[in-house]
Structure formats: structure tokens, C-alpha cells
Amino acid sequence: MNANYDVIKKRLEAILEPESFMHKEEEIIAFECDALTYYRVKPVFVVLPSTNRQVSEIIKVCDEYDMPFVPRGAGTGLSGGALPVDDGVLISLAKMNQILEIDIPNRLVVVQPGVINRSVSEAVDGFGYYYAPDPSSQIVCTIGGNVAENSGGVHCLKYGVTTNHILGLEMVLPNGEIVELGGKNQEYPGYDLLSIVVGSEGLLGIVTKVILKISKKPQLVKTLFASFDKIENAGSSVSGIISNGIIPAGMEIMDNTCIKAVQISVKAGYPEDAESILLIELDGPTAEVEAQLPIVENVLRENSAIQIKIAKDETERELFWKGRKSAFAAMGRVSPDYYVQDGVIPRNKLAEVLTKTKQLSEEYGFTIANVFHAGDGNLHPLILFNSENEGEFEKVERLAGEILRICVEAGGSITGEHGVGFDKKGYIPLMFNEDDLDTMQLISCTFDTKGLCNPGKLFPTPRSCAEHGMTKERALELENKVEGELF
């Protein structure tokens, strides 16, 4: 515990309204983990600032007393990115939840970081617009969390991920200074610092305002699925469609284990005996969608689709998507626990990688269900297990790690959208060598010389900045504390 505990407490209390400052065990327990609930750490303080000034003052106190701090949005992150530090402050942005400006002519919306992803689309829906990145968690997750993770969604094949929809932001640097990056124009002179901050997993500062690009709602949306008796055929349909010059809004593959679980939980109308299904959404101007649909159907038939079903109305369309979007939760119906993995592979390696994961599944004795953002090669293998059984979670972690190894060996990545966070930092060396990581450290040190902002995440071993900054010993000490809590 920080030797200056009492002083810091007093200083923070002076900055915040009483209900926005917490230090009692029963209050802070709700913040001890994100959606990766296997890791839990209690912070010393939890603060819920409502203005950028307050954020800045809080951070100045942290900086003065070398107290680490961790930003948090809604806590839906799946990689432990918002996992607190045991001698640090957890800064929740939940109270900074105002939409500040809607500017339709310039196609932008200015929000505070605690605004829920879906509320942005809702706010501009009446004007015929929406905010494109749509993670499945969009009814709860925050824009601040989306920016930190560079979140994707089921429509990112055509429309891109968070980084493609951010024009600018305001952030509080780890020394308390408030800066703006980018703005309302699409281009500014100088380095594109925005592209670094988006996806930096909360390591470079606290985002306090975001300027989002909004998009026009498509005139027509057509959703269909095709079932197959070989997952390879679903995979080659995906490349076939793209090769025909068509980029659908989304393409999702589910395997039989997934289909069955989904059918039990939401009855999405998927054929339960199918080995796999490919869900496709085409959207855009009517003239475009109507021209593309017959081409897509043709490709599916050429790839031996057993059944092709086009949603006949909005209700059926929503049902098809409900099945996909509840795929994670549906696992709860067939297994006490499940672990969500997030890896990426080149799209032509699908069959090869699935065969290998199947072997692993048999070797380790756990069922693996597969749902897959097929359009962009982003796999979500779901490992089914029971955490009550002694040692099972550790085994699952090893299996999940093996899957990442397979993804990287196939030429892919250890994460497509959930981030590295605390969970996967040990796997970073599969993709990046020391020289790559040293270069990334140059960026960390540009923003955070002391390493106080969300320490112990993203990078496998603690590093310090050249001049002042956290010593390696201190960083290691932090590390050990977290591990100590866990195992």
C-alpha cells in the first residue's frame, strides 16, 4: 500500500463528490474485474469523475505520488484490460456519459467516453444515420472502451473497426495535461497520433471526449444464411463472394456445436443437423443489394450449399442475427463455463486451422464450439468446461494458448478485437520480437514516462523509459502482486 495513503485519500476526496469516491471493500468489489472474471484484483480507490478537469486533477495526484491508475468503461472487456492494480486507483468513466453534440451536416457526433455504443446510433437514428462499429456487447459497452480496444463488430468487414470511425479525441495524459488529437476535419498536419491512441488499451492516457464519424443507414438490408455439410464449403463461399467483387456487410460462420446451443437458447431457425452455417448480410442502396443478391446465391450453390434461406422480413432478419449475437451466451445452456478465445487467421487457412483445433480439443478433452467472423478471418473458439473441477481452468488456459499458437503459425494474430490486456500479454512474443517491442515502448514513453497508466497490460515484461520512470524492480513487484492474487 502506498505510504501516502491518507494524503492521497484526502486529496482525491477534495476533487470528487462524496458519492463518486469509494474506498470501502464492499463498494469497490464491483470493480475488481472486467468480463474476464477469472482474474480479480481490488484497487485501493475507485473514483467516478464527471468532468475532464476532475480526471486531470485525479491524475495529477497519482502522478505526484507515483500511484498507478487504471481506466474503466463498462467492464465488458474480455482480456482483463480494465483489471485494477492492487495499489492503484480505478478510474471509472461511467459518469461521463453525455452526448455533447450531434452535427448531421458534418456527419459527426461528439461524446463523452462513458456513452454506451448503442446510444450513439439511437441518437442519430431519426436523422437516418448510425454509428457503424457494432460489437455484440453494444448495449452495454462504452465508446471509451471501444476506442481503447479498437473494437470491431459483425459489420466490420465492409465498414471497418473503431479506428476507421474516429475523427478526434480529447485525452488526459498521465501527467494530468489535457490534449486534443485530431478534430472535426478528416485530416490534420503532423503525426497521426490518433491512430496510436485508438487501440492502445488504455495505456497512454484517459480519453475524455471522442469525435465519432457517423454513417448513413443503408436503404436496403438483406440477410440470409446457407447451410453446409462441410465447413470448408462455407469457407470457400466466403472467398467466392469476395472474388465476385462483393463485400457483404458481414459474413459469419457457426459450427454444429454452436448451432445446436443457439437453437436451444433462442431458436434462430438454423438447421440443427447442418455441419455449419454461413450467415450473410448485404446492405446498401436497393439498386446495389438487388444486383448482388443473385450473384451471392449462385456462389453459395456452386459451393454445395444444402439450404439457402433469405430472411423474409425484419423480424426474421433479427432472429437470424439474434442467433449469432447470443452465441457466446448460448454456451451457458450446454456448459457450466466457457472461455472465449479471439484469434485471427488468413481467410484461406480456415479448414487447416479448424482441423488442428479439433485435434487439440480431443487431446485436451474439452469441447470447442466455433463462431467465426468469416469475412475477416477472426475466430472465436469457445472452450466449454467446468470451473468447479480442480485444475480445469488452468488446462483451458493452456489449450486457449495452443489455439493462439496455431493462429500465429498460420500467419495470423493473437487478437482480432478483444485486445491483449492482462490475459494475453504472455503471447505477444509469438508475434513481436524484442526489437518490435522496444519500438512500441518508444510510444509508451512518449505519453507515459513513469508507466503509471494501466501498468502490467499489453506487454509481456515491464519496461521502463530511458530517463525517469518506473524502475524495473518496481514494475516486477507490481506484476507479482497481481499473480499472487490469482493463483
Ligand X SMILES: Cc1cc2nc3c(=O)[nH]c(=O)nc-3n(C[C@H](O)[C@H](O)[C@H](O)COP(=O)(O)OP(=O)(O)OC[C@H]3O[C@@H](n4cnc5c(N)ncnc54)[C@H](O)[C@@H]3O)c2cc1C
Contacts (CB under 6 A) with ligand X, residues 152-191: 152-153
**What is the SS3 assignment for 444?**
helix
221-239: b (≥16 Cβ within 10 Å) or e: ebbbbbbbeebbbbbbbbe
Task: Work out which of 35, 369, 374, 452 binds ligand X, going by CB under 6 A.
Answer: 35
Which neighbouring-strand residues pair with 280? 224, 251
Interacting span for ligand X (CB under 6 A) from 118-126, 145-153, 183-191, 212-220: 145-153
Q: How far is the CB of 150 from other proteins (least distance, A)?
A: 5
Q: What is the DSSP string of 337-378?
A: EEEE--EE--GGGHHHHHHHHHHHHHHHT--EEEEEEGGGTE
Which neighbouring-strand residues pair with 21? 47
Q: How far is the CB of 344 from ligand X (least distance, A)?
A: 12
Task: Work out which of 89, 141, 181, 354 binds ligand X, going by CB under 6 A.
Answer: 141
Give the whole-angstrom CA distance, residue 94 versus residue 72. 8
Instruction: Pick out residues in 165-184 that bind other proteins (CB under 8 A).
Output: 173, 179-181, 183-184
Pick 62 or 296: Cβ nearer ligand X:
62
Pick 44 or 280: Cβ nearer other proteins:
280
Q: How far is the CB of 142 from ligand X (least distance, A)?
A: 3
Q: Which residues contact 287 (CB under 8 A, 6 or more apart)?
A: none
Pick 338 or 427: Cβ nearer other proteins:
427
Binding mask 424-463 for other proteins (x = CB under 8 A): ----x--xxx-xx-xxx-xx-xxx----------x-----
Note whether 208 and 164 are within 8 A (CB): no
195 near other proteins, judged by CB under 8 A: yes
Task: Work out which of 137, 163, 227, 464 binds ligand X, going by CB under 6 A.
Answer: 137
Note whether 86 and 45 are within 8 A (CB): no
Give the whole-angstrom CA distance, residue 257 versus residue 254. 8
| Binding partner selected for residue 476 from ligand X, other proteins, none, CB under the kind-specific 5 to 8 Å limit | none
Q: Which residues contact 206 (CB under 8 A, 6 or more apart)?
A: 55, 59, 71, 91, 93, 113, 171, 172, 453
Instruction: Pick out residues in 408-427 that bind ligand X (CB under 6 A).
Output: 417-418
Q: How far is the CB of 134 from ligand X (least distance, A)?
A: 7
Please report, for residues 53, 132, 286, 295, 326, the alpha-carbon distance to residue 219 in angstroms, rounded to integers and kept in the order given.
Answer: 42, 15, 6, 19, 26
Interacting span for other proteins (CB under 8 A) from 6-14, 59-67, 149-157, 297-305: 149-157
| Binding partner selected for residue 189 from ligand X, other proteins, none, CB under the kind-specific 5 to 8 Å limit | other proteins
| Binding partner selected for residue 68 from other proteins, ligand X, none, CB under the kind-specific 5 to 8 Å limit | none
Interacting span for ligand X (CB under 6 A) from 5-13, 141-149, 296-304, 354-362: 141-149
Note whether 130 and 221 are within 8 A (CB): no
C-alpha cell read off for 455: 501498468
With CB under 6 A as the rule, give the number of residues binding ligand X.
36
